[in-house]
Chain A
Amino acid sequence: MASSPLEVKSGPVDVLEIAPARWSGRAAVTFDSSARVCRMETRVEELHALCEWLTAEAGYVFATLVVEESPAESWSLRYLFYAPSGLRAEVLVRTEGPHPSVPSLSDLPEGPSYDWHEREAEDLFGVNFPGHPRLGDFVLHEDWPEGVNPMRASFDAARRLETRESNPRWRAPLILSSPGSFAMPIGPIFSDFAESSHFLLETVGEDVVRTVPRFFYKYRGLEKLAEGRPLDRVLLLAERFSGNAAFAHALALCEAAEEICGVEVPQRARVLRTVLAELERLRHHAATITGICHSTALGVAASQAALIEEDLLRLTCQVAGHRYLFGALAPGGLCFDPGEAQCERLKASSGEAAQRLAQLHSQLRYSSSFLDRLEEVGIVSREAALSYGLVGPIARASGVSRDLRKLCPYLAYETCDFPVAIQHEGDGYARLRVFFQEAQTSVAIIRELLNELPSGPVLAGAALTPRSGSAWRAVETPSGAAFHYLRLHRDGTVARYRVTPAAFVNWHGFHLAAENFAFQDFPIILASFGLSNAECDR
């Protein structure tokens, strides 16, 4: 755990300088200067050593694993990494055959970062990862037929599996053995408006020893549905798989497509995209704060936050025509130009929201009954956050200052100066403070950018000309870093679309916080994470 990729290193090593010599004969290293991606192709046997070197010595952080089957039964696995220098790295291994097998990386110190990606690939593609102790029963639940892997090229996305029998003897694996121990089941349908997910709280009564989460009740097969569809339709999917961060995900897709097709987005659209992304973050954080206040049963505070949230939704609707920013983006820019009046409104209203949030924060700070329920509850240590590769506000509340807007700036983030909110306690209150601080930062960015809004068109003049190729983008969504990998066919249809949302990474770390706590704190820990299952499950 000592190798904390971003902080311990004095400065990340330039992979390009040393990698060719270090890995000569073992990996083919090339550098794509336009995309600033270092590509390393290696053999299956070398994968473990190369990835270990890349994270432990070169200071890179694992982003996502992209499995592609093209043509049938010919496999390429792309391990994507990013570094604080803004450089990105890609490790590629190829293998053949109906039962591909690639060594598991989950025994590395950063193993947990790979853990869920490997489980997902095993479930959906049937790629085996020898050495992984917990494969199976992840995305596809126990009623899914054994040996059917929906992401394989041979599987028809429109085919319904009609009758599904599940083994009645199937049990979620529980590991607590103590006289009288049992598991408290929560969900999948629970609470008033909780998203569908299932938790087994292993306990001997009162104190919960361990939480076993079970997700993917909302798996809608986003990546499979995207395959073979035109980009335009895939944009609809990207917006609608996670309504809470619709704009951020659509943005990542559009940017990837623009990179492949070589479209230059007009400056005004770039700035407006940044503004809208921050508006979405502001609303998302207001909703999370509402949830946290609600979970502690602090009714008035929850109502105050809910008023701010609804006001922001209405503001978004006035500015962009949709309360959740659906349909705002198009490859090449924006679908609309809000105009001067709406920009002024946005500036004024977001400033007012910031003021109200600041007021709410100062009121909450003096509510001891509220703080008692958040402080030292659901702690994620910095070491665990690094090992699990956590992202976004959750990681920043545990002292890991990873923010893609700073690490690899995109859009207009290069030009504006803003602080990265960071707290070190890793508890529920630290997360709440991060949400409050980031909301303020978002408003500051919106107001700064709107002051110097360039004029011009919002949509690239020339229509998108389809090209074949692939690209991947890292975008800081409201809940953290999301990675979108896109490969287009020559005709503009999507060959492979891989989405790794922040919720997928951060839900993995949820069990760290939900450990050795009193049962009544569970809803609070859940709310303080503010994560979406829709985003995780896709």
Chain B
Amino acid sequence: MANWVFIGLRTGIRTSPYPRRADLAPGVSPGRPAPAVAYDEAMAAAAEHCPVDAINRRGSELAIDENRCVHCSRCRSGADRSGIPWESGYEWGAYTQPAAAREALDRRFGRSLHIRFIDAGACGACMSEARQLNNPYYNITRLGFFITPTPRNADVLLVAGPISDAMRTPLLKAYAALPAPKRVMAIGACAICGGVFGPSFVCAGGLRELLPVDVVVPGCPPPPLAILHGLLVLVDRKPPREPPKEGSATPSSQAPQESFP
């Protein structure tokens, strides 16, 4: 008979320091193309490789549409991974609407938020990353986040996948079953804009088409800490990564980046 209590205690605490401090463990996030780089010939060549047209030029600088990026690594072309530099980090959660248009969630939700995860055609990577939220490293229950099996008890729908048509009815029913105030979070490029599956004959290509999305967590897949950041953003416990304003090349908020050398 294995003594599971002892085994558990012997393992010790493995919990990530995030969100108190930045989690600098290697491999927690694959990172993504860094937007704030000067645009030059090499960059233009690298941008050619982008299969989802996420790399554009804005003035003299590179502009990257994070929501479209599918982490294909092609912009860091070649075996030596030259090309567009990638930044580390994972604080990717962002509101879809400017602060003025948002209706803040009651502060009480900051302490306990119940989440219903919905797989609307996700490939398994997003699902796996969301599942990791419950592993001892990330352990979201310590932060008051709970995954519930029924939307009746949930405050947030966490949706992944390009919204396949067969999941449209279940998704809408789950949204209807959610008690107000309800919030919707789209995780992964597929749920945000359809990703590589795009709008097609069987996919709506993005959650926006069906439901009002509050927070998006880009990535393909977004690592667990990015999803966690999205949840913290939703309850105002972390500042969001604001969407870039029209005409400006640099994203307005770079604050979270400072902790990652």
Contact = CB atoms under 8 A, between A and B. Distances in A.
A160 B199 contact: yes
Contact of A327 (B1, B71, B132, B134): B71
A402 interface: no
Contacts of B131: 193
A211 to B, nearest CB: 19
Nearest to A159: B201
A98 interface: no
Contact of A193 (B147, B196, B220): B147
B251 to A, nearest CB: 23
Interface in B52-76: 70-74
B27 A196 contact: no
Contacts of A348: none
Contacts of B7: 300, 304, 363
A309 B27 contact: no
Given A196-B119, A310-B137, A141 B125 contact: no
A336 B81 contact: yes
B72 A326 contact: yes
Interface in A142-166: 143, 150, 155-161, 164
A337 interface: yes
Interface in B18-35: 25-30
Interface string A124-142: 0000000000000000010
Interface residues of B, number: 68
Contacts of A326: 70-73, 125, 220
A512 interface: no
B39 interface: no
Given A326-B72, A326-B125, A221 B200 contact: yes
A139 to B, nearest CB: 9
A454 B125 CA distance: 31
Given A303-B8, A324-B125, A363 B2 contact: yes
B27 A314 contact: yes
B220 A240 contact: yes
Contact of B166 (A141, A161, A458): A141
A217 B132 contact: no
A307 interface: yes
Nearest to A218: B121
B28 A193 contact: no
Given A240-B220, A300-B5, A363-B7, A157 B127 contact: no
Contacts of B27: 313-318, 323
A233 B148 CA distance: 37
Interface in A287-303: 287, 290, 298-301, 303
Contacts of A242: 123-124
Contacts of B199: 158, 160
A318 B26 contact: yes
Interface stretch (A58-66, A99-107, A201-209, A364-372): A364-372
A192 interface: yes
A195 B202 contact: no
B202 A243 contact: no
A307 B201 contact: no
User: What's the dominant secondary structure at chain B's contact region?
Assistant: loop
A341 to B, nearest CB: 12
A160 B164 CA distance: 12
Contact of B4 (A220, A309, A322, A367): A367
Contacts of A366: 1-2
A368 B4 CA distance: 12
B230 interface: no
Contacts of A300: 4-5, 7-8
A236 B1 contact: no
A199 interface: no
A188 interface: yes
A216 B25 contact: no
A327 B202 CA distance: 25
B25 A314 contact: yes
- 7 tightest A-B CB contacts, nearest first: A243-B125, A314-B27, A327-B73, A306-B135, A317-B27, A243-B124, A363-B2
Interface of B: 1-2, 4-5, 7-8, 11, 14, 25-30, 51, 70-74, 79, 81, 116-132, 134-137, 147-149, 151, 161-162, 164-167, 170, 174, 190, 195-203, 220-221, 223
Given A221-B201, A307-B135, 15 more contacts: A158-B200, A188-B167, A217-B166, A218-B161, A240-B123, A241-B123, A243-B124, A303-B135, A316-B27, A317-B30, A318-B27, A321-B73, A323-B223, A459-B79, A534-B127
28 contacts: A158-B201, A164-B165, A188-B170, A192-B147, A193-B131, A195-B124, A217-B167, A217-B170, A218-B119, A237-B197, A240-B220, A242-B123, A244-B125, A300-B4, A307-B137, A309-B132, A310-B135, A315-B27, A316-B27, A318-B26, A322-B73, A323-B30, A323-B221, A326-B125, A326-B220, A335-B74, A459-B79, A534-B127
